[in-house]
Amino acid sequence: MPLLLLVLVAVSAGLGSGLAAWRYPRLSAGSSAPAFTAARKVGESAAAHSRFRSALVSRLDPSAATGLALTLALLLTIVGGLGLGALAYLERTNGHLNRIDRSVAAWGNSHATAFSTHGLDLVTQLGAITAVIVLALVLAVAETVRTRSAWIVPFLLVLLAGEEIVTNTVKALADRARPSFNPAAAGLGPSFPSGHSATAAAFYAGAALLLSRRRGHVARTVFTGIAVGVAVAVASSRVLLDVHWLSDVIAGLLLGWSWFAVCGIAFGGRLLQFGAPAELAAAVAHDDAREKSSVRLAHEARKATGRAHALDDGG
């Protein structure tokens, strides 16, 4: 029963997030997308004005450009931070939240079987830092070779190291006791927030971000759904194994996704090329200006040649 519940919750979360990713504006749909059409028109207009063209090229740097995705990342950071803070406060002061935590933990303990516990143990390893580091190394090598980007490794380092530092800092400050149903939980340290949940949320979101680059809309939808589904499965396994309270894993997910959003903001321009429309506008302006300059030079050359022939004929 616990294992079935985990599958239902994880699949539902994955499908929901995949649908959201599918409905996300297809800004990378190619040169026919509205953003790129507008960018091309801006570039064509800028080509006629040298001062505006210079400003466009110098100021609309793709590495610093923002977009809808970065705006959403900022929103996620704010919401996640507020949610984490609210849970940290409520778990100490709100009896209703504590009763919910205890009832969920008691349900997991009373419905546990040897088979479900074994399955939950396997799922929970997907959020273990050792397994995640191995997966991150494989991902870093594969994506660096595929994209030839120097930013893959720094992004993953900041993503994982930062998440671990923040999680352990909050754990030490909250110092919450773990559930008592599972004797093994007593030796695992503070309970709030769940480290496995935070690690899974941050890493698999980051992996989805990297893997979906340059692969189109369908790939982004699939990888987003898988990332959220795996993170929710890991979080659910921690509760059903009675090593964390429900509020612990919710806080862990919020922390992991918030930290991923912070890293997305920091590395977004270089990793995702959200400034591609701006880059296109600058390129069009530059190309149009160069073409006009070439035409003007050719025209002046023809005029000069004509004058030279006229002098020769007059001589």
Share of the chain above pLDDT 90, in %: 21
Q: Please write the tens of the pLDDT for every residue from 41-93.
A: 545 554 555 554 454 444 443 333 345 555 666 676 777 777 767 777 777 77
The answer, yes or no, to whether residue 220 has pLDDT greater than 70, is yes
Q: Is 224 exposed, middle or buried (0-12, 13-18, 19+ CB in 10 A)?
A: buried
Contacts of 14 (CB under 8 A, 6+ apart): 225, 226, 228, 229, 230, 232
> In whole numbers, what is the pLDDT of the chain averaged over residues?
75
Cis geometry, peptide bond prior to residue 277 (ω within 30 degrees of 0): no
Quote the CA–CA distance of 68 and 37 in Å, as a whole number: 17
Q: Please write the tens of the pLDDT for every residue from 248-282.
A: 999 999 999 988 888 887 776 555 543 344 444 44
Q: Give the tokens for residue 13.
A: 């979360």
pLDDT at 69: 59
pLDDT at 276: 42
Contacts of 156 (CB under 8 A, 6+ apart): 136, 139, 140, 206
* Per-position DSSP letters for 54-118, written without gaps between them: HHHHHH--TTT---HHHHHHHHHHHHHHHHHHHHHHHHHH-HHHHHHHHHHHHHHHHT--HHHHH
The answer, yes or no, to whether residue 215 has pLDDT greater than 60, is yes
User: Collapsing DSSP states into helix, strand and coil, what is residue 150?
Assistant: coil
Q: Band of the pLDDT at 218, cuts 50, 70, 90?
A: confident
User: Collapsing DSSP states into helix, strand and coil, what is residue 239?
Assistant: helix
Total-model pTM: 0.70
Place of tokens 């990378």: 28
User: Collapsing DSSP states into helix, strand and coil, what is residue 120?
Assistant: helix
Q: Please write the tens of the pLDDT for every residue from 118-169.
A: 999 999 999 999 999 999 999 999 988 888 888 889 899 999 999 999 999 9
